[in-house]
Structure 1
Amino acid sequence: MAENVERKRVTVKSRFERVKEKLKKLKAGLTTSLVIFVIIHIIMLIIGAINFKKCPASPNVPVYLIAEGVIGLVSKILSLGRNFILRYFKVDRIISIIGLVEVVFFICGSVWIYSAFEPKYDPVYGDQYCNRTAYLFALIFISCIYVILFSCLLIVLCLLTGFCVMVSVCGDADVESTQPERTPLPAVRNAD
């Protein structure tokens, strides 16, 4: 009896350790992706600052690059800091507000960038000119975000559809097979 209890404790501990290791790997993967996004936002900031006055076709494109670069850097650094340094400070509200501002700038940037499609990349065109690097970087960044968002949405919809189909196909059979067979109760006579 004592051996069984000890085996259960060892099994629970080993399962707990396996879950803990998987969480560490997941955290490392998330940290790596945050570092990659920090690098991308630094590049955005640099490209926007270098080409600040070089896009008369849509002057907001460099502004978008700078703003999205700064906001993205702050949010990613706070996210990284929350995991390592700021564990005891409440930064979740700040990260939420910054995330909301980032979404607003993303929508504004989409309008600014797609409305100027496709500018001239030669400065001789004057008001129709936009620096090729700044415009294409912003266009590719926003387009990649849209592809990621729509891919995630498609995956969720496929999973929900599969779940609904599974429930409709398997759900009826399970309900019918799990209902107990009813036997009629004997009639009770009153002895009046």
Structure 2
Amino acid sequence: METSQRSPVQSSFLISIIVVLNIIVWMFLMSAVGLGAMHLHDCPLQPYIPIYLLVFGVTSIASLLLSYLNNTLETGFLSLLCSSCIFLLQLFNLGWFITGSEWVYSIYPPNYDSNGGEKYCQRKIYLFAFWFNSLGSICMAVGFFCAVYFLFLTCVKMAFRGHHLLHSHKRSYGVDA
């Protein structure tokens, strides 16, 4: 089979994977917003956990919407503004994720019994936040290792082709190295 015949199938498969992943991400983020809002006062042991989920969900949804908008824009000021906002939101989310991890993991395992006075956290909100953070950490670790692996492969390919990662000073002034 020719590569030109396989390309549309591969493209369709890749688009399908991206759509499914987008749906999963949207479901997680909408659940975070919904659970955070519904259980805003149901975790007196660590009252910031519902707020963490609510804020993380809203800022992530805003970032996704901006990235969809940015894909429709042509290169220019609006595209640069959109990209800057996405970058700032993602930077905020990274810090918020680290902070939220501290809030979630610092009370592990919490008391789920609401009869315990102020020393409890509603089971559903806590377990969602716990697994949300755990899966997020795993995804970030896998993404980091994949990025390092592909960077390594790119460097190896460039080395075997005789390309240099950095230009020599001597070459840039017309002198061969």
TM-score, with structure 2 as normaliser: 0.71
1:84-163 aligned at under 5 Å gives the runs 86-88=72-74, 89-90=78-79, 91-155=82-146
Deviates most, 101-110 or 143-152: 143-152
What is the RMSD of the two structures over their aligned residues, measured on CA atoms?
3.1
For structure 1, which runs of at least 5 residues remain unmatched after alignment? 1-10, 172-192
For structure 2, which runs of at least 5 residues remain unmatched after alignment? 161-177
Within the alignment, does 1:82 sit opposite 2:70 as a pair?
A: yes
In structure 2, the residue matched to 1:26 is 14
Deviation of 1:22 after TM superposition, in Å, equals 4.3
Once residues 89 and 151 of structure 2 are traced to their aligned partners in structure 1, the CA distance between those partners, rounded to angstroms, is: 30
Deviation of 1:157 after TM superposition, in Å, equals 6.0
1:53 to 15, 36, 41: 41
Deviation of 1:94 after TM superposition, in Å, equals 1.2
How many residues align? The count is: 152
User: Contact 1:55–1:62 at 8 Å: present in 2 too?
Assistant: yes
Deviation per CA, 1:82-134: give whole Å up to 9, x if none.
33xx3234121111111111111101100110111111111011222001111
User: Contact 1:56–1:128 at 8 Å: present in 2 too?
Assistant: yes
User: Contact 1:37–1:76 at 8 Å: present in 2 too?
Assistant: no
Point out the structure with max Rg over C-alpha.
1
TM-score, with structure 1 as normaliser: 0.66
SS state at 2:117 partner: helix
C-alpha change, 1:65 and 1:26, in structure 2 (3 Å) is: same
C-alpha change, 1:32 and 1:79, in structure 2 (3 Å) is: farther
